[in-house]
Amino acid sequence: IKEQSKDINKSFGIWKDLPTEYFEIIESDIKEIREGINQRFS
């Protein structure tokens, strides 16, 4: 169990180290993907 929490902390640390621009890019990509899916089903 301790090993797992170490891995989780490590991955959270990696996420924290990512620049905010990276998250903004991901968010805009997700928005575009969602819009594309919505257009396909509407």
**pLDDT-based confidence at 1, cuts 50/70/90?**
low
pLDDT tens digits, one per residue of 10-42: 777 766 677 788 888 889 999 999 999 899 887
What pLDDT score does 33 carry?
Answer: 92
Angle, CA of 21, 27 and 4, to the nearest 5°: 85
Counting beta carbons within 10 angstroms of the beta carbon of residue 18, is it exposed (0 to 12), middle (13 to 18) or buried (19 or more)? exposed
What pLDDT score does 36 carry?
Answer: 93
Please name the amino acid found at residue 16. Answer: K
What pLDDT score does 28 carry?
Answer: 92
